[in-house]
Amino acid sequence: MKKADLITLLAVAAVICGFAFIPGAWEWFNTTTAKHGLLMSFFKFAILGTFGEMLALRIREGLYIKKGFGLLPKMLVWGVLGVVIASAMTIFKTGTLALLDGGFHFNGKAAECFKADLSWGKVGVALCISVLMNTLFAPVFMTFHKITDIHIAETGGSLVGFFCHPLKIRETLSKKINWDIQYGFVFAKTIPFFWYPAHTITFLLPPTLQVLFAALLGVALGVILSIKK
């Protein structure tokens, strides 16, 4: 085990122990999440999303960070995307319940079932939310994230370079994204086989834990993609 691995394990253990044993830490987390949901989403994804990419790099190349990795730009992008994801979760949860109860004439039973205790009906509603969100929103989100990754790499991982050079969206979409991988694996395989079931579980959790779990899923997917590579 390398020194960096030991430091990483100790840091993760310290955070877990902090929430487990420091009086009031978990209550503070839940209260702050309830009051400042989008701000907390920014920090959750900024930390956990970037950590997932660092783990992926460790698996692929044996180190957590390297020249040009772009720690600060990645944290910024993940933070902003975290706010977008949290907003999308609220929008699709509310919209799917309205669709089921209105367009499919469940007469309020979908919303009622979703608020009740765990049941197969609640799982079915959560699955509907997950499928709609990941089918309509996830491909756009994933593609934009890929564009920012390429931009960070091309500007040397510098925060100044990230802002001083424009995003070449059209050029990146047409010439720099490997669509065989982006569509053939990321869209066609991770969305139905990973994100559909994973976000079904997410929407079954208490509201204060949903965004945190979604951020943790990003860490897990980073590891899965690294193993795939």
Per-residue pLDDT tens for 41-69? Answer: 999 999 999 998 898 888 888 889 999 99
pLDDT at 223: 72
pLDDT at 7: 87
Which residue has 């070449």 as its token pair?
A: 168
Is residue 75 scored above 60 in pLDDT?
yes
Average pLDDT rounded to a whole number, residues 204-224: 85
More confident site: 228 or 137: 137
pLDDT at 225: 66
pLDDT at 172: 94
Average pLDDT rounded to a whole number, residues 140-144: 94
Which residue has 């100044």 as its token pair?
A: 160
Is residue 227 scored above 70 in pLDDT?
no
pLDDT at 220: 80
Quote the pTM value. 0.90
Question: Please, where are the H alpha helices in 22-119?
Answer: 25-35, 37-61, 71-98, 109-115
pLDDT at 146: 93
pLDDT at 62: 87
pLDDT at 104: 72
Is residue 103 scored above 80 in pLDDT?
no
Q: How far is CA 15 from CA 36, 138, 193, in A?
A: 21, 30, 30
Domain map (residue ranges) of the chain: 1-35, 37-228
CA–CA gap between residue 220 and residue 184 (Å, rounded): 20
Is the CB of residue 38 less than 8 Å from the CB of residue 206?
Answer: no
Give the pLDDT band of residue 17 (cuts 50, 70, 90).
Answer: very high
pLDDT at 221: 75
Judged by DSSP in three states, 67 sits in coil
Q: Among 18-27, 148-157, 160-169, which is the least confidently predicted range?
A: 18-27
Is residue 125 scored above 60 in pLDDT?
yes
pLDDT digits (tens, 9 = 90+) for 178-187: 999 899 988 9
- Quote the tokens at residue 177: 């994204």
Is residue 229 scored above 60 in pLDDT?
no
